[in-house]
Structure 1
Amino acid sequence: MRRRSLVLAVLFVLGAACVPANLLAAEEPDLSLSALLAGGPERRPAPEVPGRGPGAALAGAAGLDTFPVGCATPLLLLLSRPEGPLDPSLRLAQTIAVARPLLEAERVTATRDGAFAIHFPAPAGSAAPLAIDRDRDGVPDAVDRLAEALVAARSFLVARLGYPPPTPDGEALDVFLVPLGHGLEGFAVPGRDAASQGPARGTAFLVLDADLPAERVMSATLHQVAHACLLASAPRAAIWWSEASASFLTVAATGDLSGFGPALRARQRSAGRGLAADGLLLMQGSLLWPQFLAERTGDAGVVRQIWSEIAASGADPLAAADRVLMRSSGMSLRQAFREFAAWNLFTGAQDDGRHYAFGRSLPEPALAAAGAALPVDLDPVGEVEPLGSVAFRLPGDGRTGSLDLSVRSEGGRAGADLLVAFRSQAPNRVLVPVPLDAGGEGHVLVPWADLAEAWIVLRNEGASGAGTRFQVRGLHDPVAPFDLASFTAQGSGMSIVLEWTTASEKGLVGWNVYRSESPTGPFSRLNQVAVPAYGDGSSDTGYIFNDDGVRPGRRYYYLVEGLTEAGLADRSHVVSGRSAATR
């Protein structure tokens, strides 16, 4: 794989073991939307919440002092489309959050493009941020910065990327500057049909924290304008996809990953959690999925095409992605997810320059130790959610033979691969599929002597439904893929005859023959077509190869290479032979 040169652009700078289940959990505390709906006695808003604004109302209903992410839009989307009655604390929080804020001595200014109306309170004192007006234009500098950020965000999303505008042309979207606190930077309030109070349509207004640091204004603003554009495109899209897309677009425009550090760490370290996991951190961290799609296809517009497919067909984001990918590149969702699971291992210090453009800046992947050496026994591996994956690291130890790896799975739609680093092929890793049969079982032999490290990647490729449980066992087979009983090279006139005999062969399909003029190489392949392997089990099998391309009286060095069913090579020791000298 070669790293895509796709640049989404920095456009604006305004500032032997049983694997326990807790190995599959995020280290960062998160807020699950489904758990929030389920409720609990500890989640009760304080009596004074109604007088303290939307930030306090949402934090009280969630039972949090500080939100794990700065965007509360997923929570507003959840509350705007409940599948059943909301409990009193959530209903109260929704009522407060969706009400247009009442500001003290409210002032309003329009952005220069007329697309936004910014509502802000009169400053409480000369030292307040909204009291500073260095350019003496009658508008606080903080509001000026916000106005420029709004114009830049809309230009990037609508004019450059082709997303629908947050409001129809000629209508301004209201933006309220309100002290939010509790770690919140802003949220978009979904709009409704005024006549029917029916499903959400577009965006009613945006709320941004009045105390945003200057360096966070661009990212926080663009994130909420992105939500507004996405609500205008498909207001009923899945919440996780909305937050992942808004986060992706924020990074695409600003090039700033710093605000998403905790979310990306949570996503990278939450092995086994699915793409559609409903934790706030995990939803933001899922920005890696649209980022992968954009880089893998070489087209940043693929994300907008998925949104257009959702709007046109009402499909869920994964079905829409499958249709768009099949039309544009012939790649299915399942194939894309297989690659995505692999890409997410090449981050941080594991970045090889061939995957994410900013892979070095991403958090390290979660690679649990499979064991210090063979044999290994991972039983059970904690449940892997739909479109989730988990990976384990297995070091080599230099012994001859093969890794005999077996995988058993139950539930979901299982998939398994090895990413193998061979010492002779460093720094590249080789993808070795573990084909699973209809019963969810599979087996593969991997030559062991040259293996430096193997990553065992287990996936649930189902878009929905049940989780998948895996059992993985790895044994050392000292005589696979072949046990070489003898290997000689003898001069015969003006040629050299190679003879080798195997005492056993397992999973072997062919041979290559290599020659060098030095015992340390480099070696060149002699045969254009692989020599078929005929061995079966533990019976002796002999082979003969005639090298007639030698010069008289010269010594040559040879090795043979067995090819396995998985397309992997295992080399023999080196032998030598001398051709006859001319008379």
Structure 2
Amino acid sequence: MRRFLLILTLISLSSIAQAATDNGCWFLRMNDPRAPKIVLPAQTKSVVIENYFHIFYSAGDLASADLVARQQETFSRSKHLLQTEMGWRLPVSRKQANEPELDIYFIAAPKRFTGTVTNDKDLAIILNKDSLASNEFAALWMHQLAHAAELQYKAAGDYWFYEATAGWMEGLISPASSRTIAARQLIQDHPEFSLTNSQPVAALGASRFVEMLSRPYRDLVRQIWDQWSFDSTDTLIEVVSKTLELNHLPDFDSYLQNYFLGAHSQSELRNNSLNVALLPFSAAVLRGTSDQANGGAHVSFTPDTTLPYAAGLLFYTRGEGSGSAVLKKGLSQQWSVLVPYNGLEHFDVVVVNTSPQILRGKIQRDYDSAIPGVLEYFRVNPGDSGVQIEWKTSREDGVAFWNLYRLDHGTRQLLNDFPIPASINSEQGVHYLYLDSSDGAFYSLEAITADGLASPFASAEAPK
């Protein structure tokens, strides 16, 4: 049944992605010789803005002329943003008196067409004239201007990066278009889609990855395009990796892992084991819960081959809005982590394929009642000045540190200035003693695993 549902999901996504070739940006279709062409008006009038934008519209179309005038500030801002703030090469249709000009056509077209860039003769941007009156015009315009600028660097290549870059640029001049926001949401819901998938929806959804690349240096995206324009041997992913290295930034695997950490879980990890097959530069995100109040699980991923991958676990404590993350990259062998169930709301397992090949393997979850440890007692005794907090374990399976808390009048205060060291994986257990000079009403003990996950472990009332 699980396999059948996955097939339905992929069919649904493929249908949506295919439909997108007939809607919105036609950049992919207009650069396909088999695709239908958009017809330009036979008779036109034109206006020049910023001595650069040569804007054409149908003769007699007074409404478009008025709307173009109203959008003059948008055109001016886009040129300043692209050329001055970002340092990109300006797209050029021709040069007049050694000054660049860019042709833009506003045409009557079906609603499903928003715009495209064509390079059949002179470079030109073509937009639906109805977009001029849209409250998303700035984003729609910037998307096409970005495509025109991209062609100054590379005439053809990995389509997903063309569309992802254009989607990212939308947000630099205005809020992203509703189409781009929807594509990002769809891809977040389906991490099984490869980052490099060139179906239109997937490519546009990948604009979130380009946005991540642009932090903290927006110029990094331009550098990637510049390097890609000269490099004829490396793949685009290799160009991205080298550009990150030149800028002393985290490597590509780190960005890819963080990208998929924002994805939504695909399904519940109900069974003890699950076989997965991950497309290149995609991920599996599975949610786990517990029907046990105590104990925990050994969660692992075992690859069938030695392809590189990254893995992580997001641990959410009950009643908390945020979670803890356990992340590892550069893996090729088995990866595992201990998940304590006490206080657990849920956890997400994230396995990211960082290679250009399909990664197959098994995600395993094995319950262990002794995780993170076995407690013999936890008690609070009166002392000479304050109280003595005493606890003893008979086994510690993955506990690295302890934290002690005092609760009094609704206030929770950490007692230890530094984490209290534990004996990781001790089979005999350890006896602990801590002195608190202030009498509290209630005390609690928290276990910190070797992976940095916090789990409530025990509690006791102070003696009256």
* The two structures share one fold, judged by TM-score above 0.5: yes
Quick one: distance in 1 between partners of 2:120 and 2:83?
19
Give how far 1:277 is off: 0.1
Give how far 1:228 is off: 1.1
Give how far 1:334 is off: 0.5
Aligned to 2:221: 303
The reply to whether residue 550 of structure 1 matches residue 437 of structure 2 is yes
Q: Deviations over 1:235-283 (max 9, x none)?
A: 3442211111111112221214323244224322333111110101111
Quick one: distance in 1 between partners of 2:140 and 2:325?
39
Aligned to 1:214: 133
Q: Deviations over 1:406-449 (max 9, x none)?
A: 2223354332211111126x11210023688643x222111111
The reply to whether residue 74 of structure 1 matches residue 28 of structure 2 is yes
Q: Deviations over 1:202-238 (max 9, x none)?
A: x622222344461154333322221111111333442
Which amino acid counterpart does residue 119 of structure 1 have in structure 2? F
Residue in structure 1 matching 2:297, options 395, 403, 425: 403
Contact 1:26–1:269 (CA under 8 A) maintained in structure 2: no
Higher CA-based Rg: 1
Contact 2:21–2:28 (CA under 8 A) maintained in structure 1: no
Quick one: distance in 2 between partners of 1:103 and 1:529?
74
* Structural mapping, 1:3-18, within 5 Å: none
Flag the 1:492–1:265 CA change in 2: closer, same or farther, 3 A: closer
Give the match's secondary structure for 1:522. Answer: strand
Aligned to 2:87: 162
Aligned to 1:390: 284
Give how far 1:328 is off: 2.9
- TM-score normalised according to structure 2 size: 0.85
Runs of 4+ that moved beyond 6 A = none
Give the match's secondary structure for 1:185. Answer: strand
- Higher relative contact order (CA closer than 8 Å, sequence separation 6+): 1
* 5+ long unaligned stretches in structure 1: 1-15, 33-63, 80-89, 124-129, 134-139, 193-202, 346-364
Contact 2:309–2:329 (CA under 8 A) maintained in structure 1: no
Aligned to 1:257: 177
Q: Deviations over 1:65-112 (max 9, x none)?
A: x84541111233455xxxxxxxxxx2xx47x56xxx5633x1242313
Quick one: distance in 1 between partners of 2:328 and 2:253?
15
Give how far 1:26 is off: 7.2
Give the match's secondary structure for 1:334. Answer: helix
Aligned to 2:366: 475
Residue in structure 1 matching 2:7, options 19, 22, 26: 22
Aligned to 2:327: 433
Aligned to 2:208: 288
Contact 1:555–1:578 (CA under 8 A) maintained in structure 2: no
Flag the 1:191–1:166 CA change in 2: closer, same or farther, 3 A: farther
Quick one: distance in 1 between partners of 2:298 and 2:3?
19
Contact 2:278–2:360 (CA under 8 A) maintained in structure 1: yes
Aligned to 2:449: 564
Aligned to 1:506: 397
CA RMSD of aligned residues (A): 3.4
- Relative to its length, the structure with more strand (as a share) is 2
Flag the 1:494–1:279 CA change in 2: closer, same or farther, 3 A: same
Contact 2:316–2:323 (CA under 8 A) maintained in structure 1: yes
Give how far 1:290 is off: 1.4
Give how far 1:288 is off: 0.7
Flag the 1:172–1:542 CA change in 2: closer, same or farther, 3 A: closer
Quick one: distance in 1 between partners of 2:63 and 2:31?
35
Quick one: distance in 2 between partners of 1:326 and 1:302?
11
Quick one: distance in 1 between partners of 2:174 and 2:419?
52
Of all paired residues, the percent bearing the same amino acid is 17
Flag the 1:535–1:186 CA change in 2: closer, same or farther, 3 A: closer
Which amino acid counterpart does residue 289 of structure 2 have in structure 1? P
* Structural mapping, 1:83-94, within 5 Å: 90=34, 93=35
* Structural mapping, 1:179-578, within 5 Å: 179-181=108-110, 183-190=112-119, 204-212=123-131, 214-215=133-134, 216-294=136-214, 297-314=215-232, 315-342=234-261, 344-345=262-263, 365=264, 367-371=266-270, 376-377=271-272, 379-381=274-276, 383-397=277-291, 399-410=293-304, 412-423=307-318, 426-433=320-327, 438-439=332-333, 441-462=334-355, 464=356, 466-491=357-382, 493=384, 497-512=388-403, 514=404, 516=406, 518=408, 522-526=412-416, 528=418, 530-533=420-423, 536-537=426-427, 540-547=428-435, 550=437, 557-575=442-460
Give how far 1:399 is off: 0.4
Contact 1:507–1:565 (CA under 8 A) maintained in structure 2: yes
Quick one: distance in 2 between partners of 1:379 and 1:19?
15
Which amino acid counterpart does residue 50 of structure 2 have in structure 1? D
Q: Deviations over 1:480-507 (max 9, x none)?
A: 1111123344446557555433232222
* 5+ long unaligned stretches in structure 2: none
Give how far 1:299 is off: 3.0
Contact 2:265–2:287 (CA under 8 A) maintained in structure 1: no
Which amino acid counterpart does residue 369 of structure 1 have in structure 2? E
Quick one: distance in 2 between partners of 1:435 and 1:115?
47
Aligned to 1:55: none
Give how far 1:337 is off: 1.1
Which amino acid counterpart does residue 143 of structure 2 have in structure 1? H
Quick one: distance in 1 between partners of 2:380 and 2:183?
60
Aligned to 2:101: 172
Quick one: distance in 1 between partners of 2:329 and 2:85?
43
Flag the 1:263–1:573 CA change in 2: closer, same or farther, 3 A: closer
